[in-house]
Amino acid sequence: MPSPLLAPLFGSTAMEAVFSDRETIAAMLRFEAALAAVEAEAGVIPKAAVTSIAKACAGGPIDPAALAAAAGVAGNTAIPLVKMLTAKVAAADAEAAKWVHYGATSQDVMDSGLVLQLKAAFDVLDADLARAAKAAARLARIYRDTPMAGRTWLQQALPITFGLKMAGVLDALMRHRERLGEARPRVLVLQLGGAAGTLASLGDKGPEVADRLATALGLAFADTPWHGHRDRILEAAALFAGIAVTCGKLARDVALLMQTEVGEVMEPAAPGRGGSSTMPHKRNPMLSATILGAANLAPQLLAAVAAGGAGEHERFTGGWQAEWLALPELARLAGGALHRAAELLEGLEVRPERMRANLGLTDGLLMAEAVQMALAPALGRLAAHDLIEAACRKAVAEGRGLLDVLAEDSVIAGAASRDELAGLLDPARYLGAAGEFVDRVLARYAGM
């Protein structure tokens, strides 16, 4: 359940507004007002009823606390909401009150209201994805050729560039924007099926009303009511979880690179951020920590949505109800994580001098593969590998630089001079296609 105390820490103002209680109620009321209007257009209900229903839907909001108390008894929010709305309409027009929620069922109003909120949530995420991508593209461009240690299994592996690391972030962010666009016509779909998915309550007007209602609400049409098939909701949940996890990956790397012994980047500074209640010198990765908190929770919430999708027949017992908690919370966490990731990228402090210094920590060991690959044509790949591996072990055991150990080996010295070996141990000369990969991503970004 969202906490007013923690919402500013883990959420974003825009996403909190989308999934606030008042907006949840407002989305359901938009459904009810539009339903009445299109049913009148189709000749299902009297046109005279529409104005009173629309006024009641747009009038003073239904009290969330009263609705919550009633929902605890009714089992969902739609049943008491329709009763309260009907009472509001009846107070002004008793005849119009007969036509409130006509032919629909609770799940129609709740699912379609949720889809309206998802539509707004997708817009919020798309804006922050664009913002984060712009910042990542800037970093990739500036640091395209800045060497740093690539790390595997938390150990230095081979040199890469910071630009390549940021291009990887940008690439992932662009894929999420593509997924959002691809998901819109599949996910942002009206749900209107009546009691069991046949719309029998509307006679032969059911499909017409559904099509008119989808148009009125700006949603896609559904060939069949989808209340019993939750793949659309699951797709939205997977999108939210994926965005949170991508932001978590960025945050994990930043937190590791901020370690005192590494010091290659720093989160953007701000008054009151990242300090310690007892240690004045601390500058903790607080943005990264809250992003990672969201990323750690997202898979469990996604699992809850996925498990609930295997429900019973035309109306679920328990699985649908689990979505009410899991999906909005997933959206909140994804929105908060992404908002903070954009802030992180925009203000990230990059320290190329520390990257250069850390490249030399192993006194040449980082470049062992470069020497191996250069000697492989003359010695054979396996023979070169074994020679270089033995030299690395000797360098570590004796506390010596790899260049000195390599140069004194007669077999290696016969294949490469000391100056040639020194060149092979230069990290800037063993960056492979890093620059080309960065350029490819930036070119695609420029074309979006």
Active site residues: 276, 315
Instruction: Tell me which residue of 70, 90, 65 sits closest to 81, measured CA to CA.
Output: 70
User: Within 13 Å, how many C-alpha atoms sit on residue 337's CB side?
Assistant: 29
User: CB of 201 within 8 A of CB of 101?
Assistant: no
d(CA 145, CA 148): 9
In the structure encoding, which two tokens stand for residue 353, read together?
A: 């001098």
Angle of helix 64-74 relative to helix 21-41, nearest 10 degrees?
80
Helix residue ranges, H only, 104-204: 106-142, 162-187
CB atoms within 10 A of CB 418: 13
Instruction: Tell me which residue of 27, 228, 222, 207 sits closest to 103, measured CA to CA.
Output: 207
User: CB of 448 within 8 A of CB of 177?
Assistant: yes
3-state DSSP of 197-246:
CCCHHHHHHHHHHHHHHHHHHCCECCCCCCCCCCHHHHHHHHHHHHHHHH
User: CB of 80 within 8 A of CB of 74?
Assistant: yes
Burial class of residue 349, CB neighbours in 10 A (0-12, 13-18, 19+): exposed
